[in-house]
Structure 1
Amino acid sequence: MNVDFPYHVDACGRTAQVDHAGHVRDMVEQVLFTTPGERVNRPDFGCGLLNLVFAGNSPELTTTVEMTAHAALQQWLGDLLTVESLTVSSAESTLVVQVTYALAATGESQSLTIRGGTPS
């Protein structure tokens, strides 16, 4: 078991734990939402998706997000997962990012959808 992110306590007052799949999902979210330059000792970590919440939507933006997010996930989590697909679309004023990946340890397929800066 791993410590859940963000850190919180469970109903018993202990540090919340999460299984391997949940831990990898937490790390995917960290890579996507961390802005490059935000971490002092790893200035190139992340892809800065959170900064795009108020950016104007355009086809160029969706293509750029696809490329940078896919590259960041492969660079930082390539030993834990294989990105099967990463699609970015814009619906009205909302950017939607859908990531499907396979866990390297089990081969199990997982998916994550982010709409307007909120994972679901």
Structure 2
Amino acid sequence: MVYLAHPFGVGGDGRTATSGVTDHVRDLVEQVLATAPGERVNRPDFGSGLLSLVFEPHDDALAAAGRAQVEGALHRWLGEVIQLEAVTVQSIESTLEVQVRYVIRATGERTATTFRGPVT
């Protein structure tokens, strides 16, 4: 199956860029993690709230709170698309690192993805 690429763009052939299921699901995970609740008009509770942790003190409590937020959001919004295996959130110096391991339900493919962002 072919999906629209995220972010939306034009491919090398001049047509709308597309992606396969693996990249599409990774894009969905990234959208859930990067969206703050209240950011989407018709889905005000969509997202993980992970970005709000950027302004919190950077320690083990931050990592634990981040893991709980990520797990809850992924189960709620992508529970039919992925089977979540593990979420690891680490605060390394000035970077928040989130690793998500999951199985894509449609294909049975195991995938691990890491997202990194700055914290203050």
TM-score (norm 2): 0.91
Superposed structure 1 runs of 4+ greater than 2 Å apart: 48-56
Count of matched residue positions in the alignment of Structure 1 and Structure 2? 117
Cα RMSD for the two superposed structures: 1.3
The residue aligned with 1:81 is 82
Deviations 1:85-117 (A, max 9, x none): 100011112111100100001111011101116
Structure 2 residue 14 is matched with structure 1 residue 21: no
For the residues of structure 1 that align with 2:8 and 2:53, how far apart are their CA atoms?
25
Structure 2 residue 51 is matched with structure 1 residue 63: no
Q: Is the 8 A contact 2:53 2:62 kept in 1?
A: no
The residue aligned with 2:34 is 33
Give unpaired runs (5+ residues) of structure 2.
Answer: none
Structure 2 residue 53 is matched with structure 1 residue 52: yes
TM-score (norm 1): 0.91
How far is the alpha carbon of 1:76 from its aligned partner? Answer: 0.4
How far is the alpha carbon of 1:54 from its aligned partner? Answer: 4.7
Structure 2 residue 3 is matched with structure 1 residue 2: yes
Give unpaired runs (5+ residues) of structure 1.
Answer: none
How far is the alpha carbon of 1:38 from its aligned partner? Answer: 0.3
Identity percentage over the alignment? 50
For the residues of structure 2 that align with 1:38 and 1:4, how far apart are their CA atoms?
21
Give the secondary structure class of the aligned counterpart of 1:89. strand
